Amino acid sequence: MSDANGKGAPGSEGANPEKDLSAQNLPGQRGQGGEEVRVQRGMFGANNGGDTSGYGGLVRSVRLPGPAARPYGGWFDEVADELEGALEEQDLLPANAIEKTVVDRGELTFHIEREHLVRVAKTLRDDPALRFELCTGVSGVHYPNDKGRELHAVYHLRSITHNRVIRLEVSAPDSDPHIPSLFEVYPTNDWHERETYDFFGIVFDGHPALTRIMMPDDWQGFPQRKDYPLGGIPVEYKGAQIPAPDQRRSYS
Amino acid sequence: MSTSHASPRETTEGTVYTVTGGDWDEVVESAARTDDERIVVNMGPQHPSTHGVLRLILEIDGETVTEARCGIGYLHTGIEKNLEYRTWTQGTTFVTRMDYLTPFFNETAYCLAVEKLLGIEDQVPDRASIIRVLLMELNRLSSHLVCIATGGMELGATTIMIYGFRDRELILDIYELITGLRMNHAYIRPGGLAQDLPPGAVDQIREFVKKMRKNLPEYDKLATGNPIFKARMQDVGYLDLAGCMALGATGPILRSTGLPHDLRKAQPYCGYETYDFDIPTADTCDSYGRFLIRLEEMRQSLRIVEQCLDRLQPGPVMVEDKKIAWPAQLALGPDGLGNSLDHIKQIMGTSMEALIHHFKLVTEGFRVPPGQAYTAVESPKGELGVHVVSDGGTRPYRVHFRDPSFTNLQAMAAMCEGGQVADVIVAVASIDPVMGGVDR
């Protein structure tokens, strides 16, 4: 197959940019490092025997980039050192607060244990060497198959002083969807946390008025969770029935 | 029953008056009869002065606002959820509709995030980046023009409204020439652009720059030194640097406190570091300062537009990688639909592999390696951030837009409480919220 050729004999047929099969040009590989969040079976979204394409037996594990090892490169080490030092000063073992550190695509992510989130955020904001003054809100992500860590809250912090951006990621299980609120540290998260609560059902403990913000007050369910259907009706176009978007054939 | 339009109704919260216009005297009269001084006024969500379907809930004491709250969500369309059911390329047709006054910023921010996930930022051709900058700066002009125009209208200055929409129309004509649409363009795509500039576009933009340079001083003459305009704007909607930082306010609101923070300079993207322009600031922290900043930013945008035009060199506008790039250089067919006739000739006539490839790319889309990315651009309203997560599939796993209108609107209460009712309108106009972006 062309895969083997491309990998086995690079340059033997001359550089062909269309056959650049270096690792970064390939989709997530099975058995590679990283964090498995889901196992994908088959293709086309069919799981009731309707898929006669032969792709039904395909098994692909979905892996997000895993923890990075030192050195992280650039200013990442400086920020990580400062943060760890500042936490130690507060008698908090960095390993207890920082679950893991991920460096991917030039971005630095700290996965924080939820009970220490507020302390870490306050340190990041106040420490002169860190000084992440601006929080750009929270984005929820739902990984229904990542057992025990289904709900993620992702924060991006910007330091205008040092001109840096980092990401904090916090997870909570579906059965106990509580994450401490950052409202006290970053008041801008008021509406952002209400939005994430509204769409994902993450309860931000300590938020002064955690109510729905986009959906009507009496709405049932949390619309941006993966198990919440998109909805829609089939549409007729030039005589053919086009199914609703979430009923269409999917390739991933 | 009397003919009153303001019929009182008793509720557990107190007397509720339904106001339909022209009957304020009756409302005030009947409110004065009760011993409770506190009145809660509900403005919107359909009031013409609230920038679309924004609902303001004001608690007033006489003419003073004691508490102000926003009710939002009336324009929520579930765009973020919808993106999870479309391919990465189809995503641009959705994000362009978020903040409908800044479509090119939404598209660029989204495409930059997808390109970062794909790891192809360096492969995007120069010409595509220059055209992106060109369109974004034209878009900054058209967005600021609407802000100044509607802001003026809300003060009763209808002339400035006419001027603003007159000039915006010239920009919309350019959009229409380049993308085929006045709004909702979906012109910027992951990897580059949908197609190249059409013939005559550069000339029309040069013509526009010339005309706009002549028109911009009219806003100065009409408003900048106007004593009534200044009296309505100065010291209204006050928010200082500490307030901006705490509330996450960015854009002209932040720059009106004197901090020259602009992502085009701080974290350049699309080659902004190579353009020559200034970041205007004010130190008044008020609506008037924000107006002056927007006016000056329009001048700076014209400068950038001219530099873009001078730099344009013939070349591709899409990455070379055929696994990502849609093969399209569309021409208008006799049926009124856009088609690339040469491309159709090739896939239908000579190369079956190209046909298969085209079919797969269009129906299935391309795969994006798993991971997440955050990119931010400086939209006319502030930091427009996009958080994109991929699970390695042909569709986004999650897309979140940090819309500056959404965040900045939180500052409404801080700006309005303790002020006059009439100043609420001015303060909200100086935030320049667009509900399409707030609610998404």
Distance CA A142, CA A134 (A): 25
Q: What is the pLDDT of residue A69?
A: 82
ipTM over 0.95: no
Q: What is the pLDDT of residue B359?
A: 85
A16-25 long-range contacts (CB < 8 A, ≥24 apart) are A17/B320, A17/B321, A18/B321, A18/B322, A18/B323, A24/B119, A24/B369, A25/B119
- What mean pLDDT do residues A21-47 have? 64
Distance CA B15, CA B38 (A): 11
Contact residues for A149 (Cβ-Cβ < 8 A; gap 6+): A143, A171, A172, A173
Two structure tokens written together for A113: 């244990």
* Contact of A180 with A206, CB cutoff 8 Å: yes
Contact residues for B294 (Cβ-Cβ < 8 A; gap 6+): B144, B147, B148, B252, B380
Q: What is the pLDDT of residue A9?
A: 40
Residue B392 with chain A: CB contacts under 8 Å? 27-28, 60, 62-63, 252
Residue A230 with chain B: CB contacts under 8 Å? 78, 81-82, 84-85
pLDDT of residue A12 exceeding 80, the answer is no
Q: What is the pLDDT of residue A30?
A: 47
- Cα of first residue to Cα of last residue in chain B, in angstroms, is 44
Q: Verify whether the Cβ–Cβ distance A160 to B266 is below 8 Å.
A: yes
Interface of A with B in 168-187 (CB under 8 A): 186-187
| A226-243 pLDDT, tens digit each | 989 888 899 998 889 988
Q: How many degrees, rounded to 5, is the angle at CA B63 between CA B60 and CA B64?
A: 60
pLDDT of residue A50 exceeding 70, the answer is no
| Residue B13 C-alpha from the chain's centroid | 38
- Among A226, A206, A230, smallest CA distance to A150 is for A226
User: Which among A37, A105, A188 is the nearest to B119, CB-wise?
Assistant: A105
In chain A, DSSP finds a helix count (H) and a strand count (E) of 5, 11
Two structure tokens written together for B318: 């899409």
Q: Verify whether the Cβ–Cβ distance A251 to B385 is below 8 Å.
A: no
At B216, the amino acid letter reads L
Number of CB atoms found within 10 A of residue A225's CB: 17
What pLDDT band is residue A6 in, cutting at 50, 70 and 90?
A: very low
Residue B413 with chain A: CB contacts under 8 Å? none
Q: What percent of chain A has pLDDT over 70?
A: 81
For residue B433, how many C-alpha atoms fall within 13 Å in the half-sphere facing its CB?
A: 29
- Cα of first residue to Cα of last residue in chain A, in angstroms, is 23
Distance CA B127, CA B93 (A): 22
Distance CA B199, CA B210 (A): 19
| B26-83 pLDDT, tens digit each | 666 766 666 666 788 888 776 666 677 888 888 888 788 888 988 898 889 999 999 9
User: Which among A24, A104, A136 is the nearest to B385, CB-wise?
Assistant: A136
Q: What is the pLDDT of residue A44?
A: 64
What are phi and psi for residue B430, nearest 5 degrees?
A: -75, -20
**In chain B, which residues have pLDDT < 50?**
1-4
Distance CA B262, CA B171 (A): 24
- Among A152, A163, A81, smallest CA distance to A123 is for A81
Distance CA A207, CA A194 (A): 9
Q: Verify whether the Cβ–Cβ distance B81 to A223 is below 8 Å.
A: yes
Cα distances (Å, whole numbers) of residue B149 to A181, B163, B183, B207, B221: 39, 7, 18, 22, 15
* Contact of A251 with B88, CB cutoff 8 Å: no
Burial B210-245 (b: 16+ CB within 10 A, else e): eebeebbeebeeebeeeeebeebbeebbbbebebbb
Residue A134 with chain B: CB contacts under 8 Å? 245, 248, 250
Q: Verify whether the Cβ–Cβ distance A214 to B439 is below 8 Å.
A: yes
Residue B309, burial from CB neighbour count under 10 angstroms (0-12, 13-18, 19+): middle
User: Which among B370, B374, B407 is the nearest to A167, CB-wise?
Assistant: B374
Closest chain A C-alpha to B398 CA, distance in angstroms: 7
- Among A146, A193, A192, smallest CA distance to A171 is for A146
- Among B437, B188, B167, smallest CA distance to B298 is for B167
Interface of A with B in 94-133 (CB under 8 A): 104-107, 109, 133
* Contact of A82 with A88, CB cutoff 8 Å: no
Q: Provide the H-helix boundaries in B88-182.
A: 91-95, 103-118, 126-154, 158-179
Two structure tokens written together for A139: 């984005």
Q: Verify whether the Cβ–Cβ distance B321 to A18 is below 8 Å.
A: yes
Q: What is the pLDDT of residue A195?
A: 93
Collapse the DSSP code of A60 into the 3-class scheme (helix H, G, I; strand E, B; otherwise coil) and give the result: strand
Sign of the dihedral defined by the CA atoms of residues B169, B175, B177, B179, in that order: negative
Q: Quick one: DSSP state of residue B318?
A: B
Q: What is the pLDDT of residue B20?
A: 64
Contact residues for B3 (Cβ-Cβ < 8 A; gap 6+): none
Two structure tokens written together for B430: 């100086």
Maximal C-alpha separation, chain A = 70
Q: What is the pLDDT of residue A20?
A: 59
Write out the DSSP string of A17-37: GGG---GGGSPPPTT-SSEEE
Closest chain A C-alpha to B14 CA, distance in angstroms: 22
Distance CA A9, CA B393 (A): 28
Q: What is the pLDDT of residue A58?
A: 75
Residue A74 with chain B: CB contacts under 8 Å? none
